[in-house]
Structure 1
Amino acid sequence: MTFYSFAKSVVYGVLKPIYRFEVIGREHFPKEGGVLLCSNHIHNFDPPVVGINAPRPVHFMAKEELFSVPILGKLVPHLNAFPVKRGMSDREALRKGLSILKDGHVLGLFPEGTRSQTGELKKGLAGAGFFALRTDAAIVPCAIIGPYKAFKKLKVVYGKPIDMENLRERKASAEETTEIIMGEIRKLIDEHR
C-alpha cells in the first residue's frame, strides 16, 4: 500500500462521519488516461475532499508556502502535491502539470485560484484553459456543494467530461476555455444545490 492510499483511507475515515459525503457522477470519471479535474473552491478541506472521493489518485498544485510548514511540508509531496508560486506565471509548476496529464494521471485544479469567501463561484484563471488546450486529457468538472457543517451532507459531484475537440481545433484562448469549464461547474452547482 502506498503512503497516498494509506493517507486517503485515514482521511476518509475521519471526514466521512463528519461530512456525510454524497458522491454523484463517479461513473463519469475516465478509468484511464490523463484527466484534468476542475472544481470550485469553498473551503480549505476541498483538496482532501476531492482527492478522497475521486476514483483515481489526484495530483494537486499546492501553494508553495505549504511546503515550508513544519511536518505538513514533509507530508505534502507524498500526497501527490507539488508547489506553485502564486501571483506569477510559475513555469516549473506548469511543466509539472503538463507532465502529469501527458503521463496519463489525474491533475486536480481549483481554477478560481483561491477560496471563495462567499461560496459563490468566482471567475476562473487561465491556467485551467492552458492545461485543457495543451494536452488531450479529459476535462472533468467537479462541484463541491456545502456547507461544511458537522453532520450535514456535503455533495461532491463529478460531471461528464467536457468536449474539447472544437476548442482545440480552432485554437481557442485559455481564457475562453476556462470560462467554458467554469460554466460546466456552475451547471453542476445549480443542478445539485
Structure 2
Amino acid sequence: MASSALVPSPPPSPTYRVVKWAFVTPLFRLFLRGRCRGMELVPLSGPLVVVANHGSHLDPPLLGHALPRPVSFMAKAELFKIPVIGPLIRAMGAYPVSRGASDREAIRTALRRLEEGWATGVFLDGTRKASGRVEAPQLGAALLSARSGAPLLPVALVNTHRAFGPKQRWPRPVAVEIRVGQPIAPPASRSRADLDATTAQCQQAINALLEHPASPL
C-alpha cells in the first residue's frame, strides 16, 4: 500500500481529549515531572510508524500524550485486562496484539490506520524490558513501514521503567523524559535483509536517545 500522499492526520476524538487532559497530562506533568524533547521533528501529517522502547505499563498512554498528533498503537492483549490501565490505553487509541503469535488482525488494523493518515506506535521489543532499553527488536515496525511507505519515528521513553517497571506494583514519582529522534526512511524492500537493517537502525537511534544527558530542570 506504499504511497507518497500525505493524508491529513485524523483529529483526536472527544474521548481521547478528555482522557489526555484529565488523566494522562496530570500524571506526566505533575506526578512524573515529565519533559519532552524533539517534538519539532514529528511529521504532523501523513502515515507514520512511531517506534519506541518499552519498560513500563505507563508507556502506551505517555507515548500517546507526548506527540503533537494522535497515536494509534499496538499493545499486548494482556494490558487490556488490567483495571484502569486497560480502559486508559484503549481510550488513547491502543488496540490489542497477541504476544507470541502472528496476529494478522492487529497488522491489518495497523495498516488500515496508516492508510487513514494515523501515526501508529509500535514498541520494538514487543514486551517490557527491565533495563528500559531496546534489547531484542522485532521486525513488525519495519514491515509495517515497508508495506505502507510510512517513515519510522524513533522515540525514547526515559526512566519509565524506573517509574513503573515490570516488577513494580505501584508507580513511583520518578522524573521521566520523552525524546524524539530524526525520522528514518522505510526499508528499501520487504526482504529480510532490508527489514533487519532498518530495525537495527531504529534500535540504535532509540538507545542513543536514551543515553543523551537529561534536560536541565
Q: Do the aligned partners of 2:54 and 2:133 also contact (CA within 8 Å) in 1?
A: no
- Give 3-state SS (helix, strand or coil) of 2:95's partner: strand
Partner of 2:121: 108
The CA distance in 2 between the partners of 1:36 and 1:127, in whole Å, is 10
Partner of 1:4: 16
Partner of 1:51: 64
Unaligned residue ranges in structure 1 (runs of 5+): none
The CA distance in 2 between the partners of 1:14 and 1:27, in whole Å, is 23
Deviates more, 1:74-83 or 1:128-137: 74-83
| Letter paired with 2:207 | R
The CA distance in 1 between the partners of 2:97 and 2:33, in whole Å, is 31
Q: Deviation string for 1:132-176 (max 9, x for gaps)? A: 211121211000111428554311001111133xx3258553233
The CA distance in 2 between the partners of 1:71 and 1:61, in whole Å, is 18
Instruction: Say which of 161, 164, 180 aligns to 1:158.
Output: 180
> Percentage identity across aligned positions?
33
Unaligned residue ranges in structure 2 (runs of 5+): 1-12, 164-170
The CA distance in 2 between the partners of 1:169 and 1:71, in whole Å, is 40
Deviation for aligned residue 1:6: 0.7
In the superposition, the TM-score normalised over structure 1's length comes to 0.88
Greater share of helix: 1
- Give 3-state SS (helix, strand or coil) of 1:49's partner: helix
Q: Deviation string for 1:75-124 (max 9, x for gaps)? A: 65433111211101111111111111121101011011111112333120
| Letter paired with 1:154 | V
Distance 1:111 1:104, change over 3 A: same
Distance 1:119 1:68, change over 3 A: closer
Partner of 1:133: 146
Root mean square deviation, CA, Å? 2.3
Instruction: Say which of 97, 104, 122 aligns to 1:91.
Output: 104
Q: Do the aligned partners of 1:129 and 1:176 also contact (CA within 8 Å) in 2?
A: no
Instruction: Say which of 73, 81, 94 aligns to 1:81.
Output: 94
Deviates more, 1:55-64 or 1:174-183: 174-183
The CA distance in 2 between the partners of 1:182 and 1:153, in whole Å, is 23
- Give 3-state SS (helix, strand or coil) of 1:117's partner: coil
The CA distance in 2 between the partners of 1:152 and 1:73, in whole Å, is 22
- Give 3-state SS (helix, strand or coil) of 2:153's partner: strand
| Letter paired with 2:198 | T
Partner of 1:18: 31
- Give 3-state SS (helix, strand or coil) of 2:179's partner: strand
Deviation for aligned residue 1:54: 1.0
Deviation for aligned residue 1:18: 1.2
Matched, 1:60 2:73: yes
Distance 1:91 1:48, change over 3 A: same
| Letter paired with 2:68 | P
Matched, 1:179 2:206: no
Distance 1:132 1:48, change over 3 A: same
Deviation for aligned residue 1:72: 6.0
